[in-house]
Structure 1
Amino acid sequence: MDPVKLAKLQALASTNRIGGKGTVRRKVVRKTKPSAAQDDKKLQGALKKLNVQPIAGVEEVNMFREDGNVLHFTAPKVHAAVSANTFAIYGTGHVKELTELVPGILNQLGPDSLASLRKLAESYQSIQQGQQRPAEGGAAEEDDDDDDVPDLVENFDEEKKADLEELN
């Protein structure tokens, strides 16, 4: 067979055709990735089912977590159904430490968050004191831990035996 003719056939085969002359061209399947607009439409549909209304004028949202961090949203979209006690907050959220946001959020802190703020302040003070006086560090702190545990005074096994003898 002629090498030029063979090269032409190979070039045709490498295009969209699977078979030879006269066969159906192969269809290219394109998978589209869901865009942010599609996700937003799904979210809007779910929010409609909950009968929530948009709340305008919310500049930031802070959610205080149990580990002492804060989930911080700037310019979030907020929807609420107050009668059902349902709130939907969506947008770009960032996990930040409580100390990063302290000056601006002092009026938002509840009792749990104030307790975690105190713990953070105490830990920072202890770290700073430990850096200033490293020689006092280790042994004194271990002795303080032992003082918190009360000593065992009574023998519970003897009391259990006495109770069993009274029952018999």
Structure 2
Amino acid sequence: MQMNVEKLMKMAGAVRTGGKGSVRRKKKAVHKTTTTDDKRLQSTLKRLGVNAIPAIEEVNIFKDDIVIQFPNPKVQASITANTWVVSGTPTTKKLQDLLPGIINQLGPDNLDNLRRLAEQFQKQAPGAGAAPEDDDEEVPDLVPGETFEAAAEDGQAQAS
């Protein structure tokens, strides 16, 4: 089997991007860059008078039971405008996973939140020492061999 060079060249010349009868693109699509957003943000921050705060190794933002962590962020602040800007790549982690490493970094407000979380976990943990409350709504434990109907009849007879 030999390849016909003329036939191959003819097929290569007939290649189209859109198919037979398709309209050619008249102008090149121009993609906008996101630099305009960055410039607008920087001009707004400049108006607020933010100053860079150097030598911050880590920023942790606590929200419920998750922590948004910024390692090596760029931090800017305007104390008069009560504005803080933290920029960098964030990672989201659960508070339980970070507790051993950040307890010494917490302030008094977050220590109270930590105590509250610890109390919630103690309530949820089985055998935490808290006595279960007696509810009338609870389903009684059944003795082997009894049925639900018999237990319900016994409960009604004891109530009257």
CA distance 1:110–1:16, change in 2 (3 Å)? farther
State, as a whole percentage, how many aligned pairs show the same letter: 44
CA distance in 1, matches of 2:22, 2:124: 72
- Given that residues 16 and 26 in structure 1 are in contact (C-alpha distance below 8 angstroms), is that contact kept between their aligned partners in structure 2? no
Name whichever structure is richer in helix by fraction: 1
Which residue among 45, 48, 61 is the counterpart of 1:47?
Answer: 45
Contact 1:62 1:73 in 2 (8 A): yes
Aligned residues between the structures: 122
1:70 equivalent in structure 2? 67
Structure 1 position 87 matched with structure 2 position 84 = yes
Residue equivalent to 1:154: none
Distance 1:96 1:83, change over 3 A: same
Give how far 1:78 is off: 0.8
Q: 1:60 corresponds to which residue?
A: 58
Comparing 77-86 with 117-126, which one deviates more in the overlay? 117-126
With the length of structure 1 as denominator, give the TM-score of the two structures: 0.53
Q: CA deviation at 1:16?
A: 9.8
Give the SS at the match of 2:80. Answer: helix
Deviations 1:87-146 (Å, cap 9, x if unpaired)? 21122223322222222322332444223322332333344434x99xx98xx3355xxx
Distance change >3 Å, CA 141–CA 77, structure 1 → 2: same
Question: RMSD value over aligned CA atoms?
Answer: 3.7
Aligned to 1:21: none
Contact 1:61 1:73 in 2 (8 A): yes
Closer/same/farther in 2, CA of residues 129 and 16 from structure 1, 3 Å limit: same
Matched, 1:141 2:133: yes
Unaligned stretches of 5+ residues in structure 1: 1-7, 19-24, 144-168
> Structure 2 regions of 5+ residues with no counterpart?
1-12, 136-160
The SS at the match of 2:120 is helix
Q: Deviations over 1:42-101 (max 9, x none)?
A: 332222222212122111111222x23222111111111233332211222233222222
Question: Of 102, 121, 124, which aligns to 1:124?
Answer: 121
| Structure-1 separation of matches of 2:73 and 2:32 | 25
Q: Contact 1:61–1:76 (CA<8 Å) still a contact in 2?
A: yes
Q: Against the structure 1 CA distance between its residues 86 and 16, is the aligned structure 2 distance closer, same or farther, given a 3 Å change threshold?
A: farther
In structure 2, do the counterparts of structure 1 residues 15 and 87 end up closer, same or farther at CA, with 3 Å as the change threshold? farther
